[in-house]
Amino acid sequence: MELHDLTLREGDQMPDRSYDADAKIEAALALDRLGIAGIQAGFPATGETDHETIRRLDGRTDATVVGLARAVERDIDKVADAGADGVDVFTYLSERQLNHVVGKSREEMLDATVAAVDYARDCGLAVEVSLVDSFRTDLDVQVNALERLADVPVVNLPDSVGATTPLTVAERLDALGERVDLSRVGVHFHDDLGCAAANTLVAKERGVAKADVAVASLGERAGNTPLEQVVAGSTSDRGDDMGLNVGELIPACYDVLDALGEEVDPRTPILGVEPVTHESGIHTTAMLDEPSAFEPFDPAQFGGRRRLLFGSKSGRGAATALLERAGLEPTDDRVDRALDLFDAEGPLETKAAVSLLAERVD
């Protein structure tokens, strides 16, 4: 399953955000360093910044640079004029969207989409299509659309409002896979129920062709599928690094965040500092000997690092181990002294704690 990053477009749609072209280009180059397959750099019909971003990225990335467009010629012209490699044409097929967004029949929208695909190809663009609100669209409608778009290499199924859970995704893709080839299906999830990463990993196991992701889940409402969670989950749990430079995962994501002026909550999985920081006495004592005792993966695998802290929560086992690292015999008196020092001076990381003991315990 290929990953295509949407951070530059979806992140820019969040309230009070307006990334300039320089920021977007810097972020795109960081993503390219990670080895991402595709970067959706913007929606050129909505403004000059996205047009400029795509134009200036031309020839600078190994990743395919894609622009978003409605199923209308003027949008596709904007993508082509910017010099994008490809276009993601989005269309509406669910009852809610047809009735309340576009006011057209499903057949009218399908006809317009087929025409837009043909037009985009004539413009020299690689084409993919996204069927908005797919997971709340009837299965037969999806199958019909995939059949009508048989010459489109990838048709994306967005869960546009984040309404699905892993069981629903599995059931829908299993049913769809009985009627169409899932290797030409992509998925796009939002995180409104907190299930986007899990949904994407389920879809990956079902054999879909691609998934849309975003760094730190940046995107409208609760955000999109977090890139870093999908990559770390696939690598650590299934042994599949998805062909990415996983040692660059955390540094590249932080470069993207820095470029866009975004931050993450300290408790954010993979990227936050707290999931890799340990202070509990039982945990740190065990992790001095074997870190995997209380962590799901080695953060260094993804370019991060763990932090073991020693302070008021530390116990005799940790003090004993650190005294030994400092070259001191862990007598009862020295252990007591070490715990007093940790309480007074901590919390300290491992190296600082060892140095403190070497200097202050005799």
88-135 residue pLDDT tens: 999 998 888 777 787 788 899 999 999 999 999 999 999 999 999 999
Q: Which amino acid is at 303?
A: G
In a domain, 267, yes or no: no
Geometric angle at alpha carbon 282, from 281 and 288, rounded to 5°: 85
Q: What percent of the chain has pLDDT over 90?
A: 95
CA 305, distance to chain mean position in Å, is: 19
Alpha helices in 157-270, H assignment, sequence order:
166-177, 196-205, 227-238, 249-260
Same domain, 217 and 182: yes
Same domain, 278 and 256: no
In a domain, 38, yes or no: yes
Same domain, 229 and 294: no
Residue 42: closest CA among 65, 17, 72, 68: 68
- Predicted local distance difference test score (pLDDT) of residue 159: 97
Neighbours of 228 (CB within 10 A): 26
Same domain, 280 and 250: no
Q: Among 202, 225, 260, identify where a domain stops.
A: 260
Digit-coded pLDDT (tens) for 248-305? 999 999 999 999 999 999 999 999 999 999 999 899 999 999 999 999 999 999 999 9
Same domain, 99 and 176: yes
In a domain, 58, yes or no: yes
Q: List all residues 6 or more positions away from 15 whose beta carbon is below 8 Å from its beta carbon.
A: none
C-alpha distances (whole Å) from 31 to each of 57, 205, 305, 355 are 12, 24, 20, 38
C-alpha distances (whole Å) from 221 to each of 7, 80, 101, 162, 296 are 14, 29, 18, 9, 29
| Host H or E run for residue 9 | helix 7-10
Q: Among 201, 234, 260, identify where a domain stops.
A: 260
Q: Does 11 have pLDDT greater than 90?
A: yes
Instruction: Name the region of 86 (left: φ>0; alpha: ψ -120 to 50; beta: rest).
Output: beta
- Predicted local distance difference test score (pLDDT) of residue 201: 98
Same domain, 86 and 37: yes
Please report, for the domain that includes residue 204, its CATH number: 3.20.20.70
Same domain, 247 and 281: no
Same domain, 179 and 223: yes
Cα–Cα distance for residue pair 176/155, rounded to 1 Å: 13
Q: Does 204 have pLDDT greater than 90?
A: yes
Digit-coded pLDDT (tens) for 27-37? 999 999 999 99
Q: Which domain holds residue 57?
A: 2-260
In a domain, 269, yes or no: no
- Predicted local distance difference test score (pLDDT) of residue 103: 77
Same domain, 55 and 104: yes
- Predicted local distance difference test score (pLDDT) of residue 73: 98
Q: Does 42 have pLDDT greater than 90?
A: yes
Neighbours of 324 (CB within 10 A): 14
- Predicted local distance difference test score (pLDDT) of residue 185: 98
In a domain, 122, yes or no: yes
- Predicted local distance difference test score (pLDDT) of residue 362: 84
Same domain, 174 and 287: no
The domain tally of the chain equals: 2
- Predicted local distance difference test score (pLDDT) of residue 357: 94
Average pLDDT over residues 334-360: 94
In a domain, 332, yes or no: yes
In a domain, 265, yes or no: no
The pTM assigned to this predicted structure is: 0.94
Digit-coded pLDDT (tens) for 70-91? 999 999 999 999 999 999 999 9
Q: What is the DSSP letter of 5?
A: E
- Predicted local distance difference test score (pLDDT) of residue 266: 97
- Predicted local distance difference test score (pLDDT) of residue 94: 80
- Predicted local distance difference test score (pLDDT) of residue 248: 98
Same domain, 244 and 295: no
Same domain, 75 and 145: yes
- Predicted local distance difference test score (pLDDT) of residue 100: 77
Digit-coded pLDDT (tens) for 213-241? 999 999 999 999 999 999 999 999 999 99
In a domain, 127, yes or no: yes
Mean pLDDT for all residues in the chain = 96
Q: Among 260, 291, 306, identify where a domain stops.
A: 260
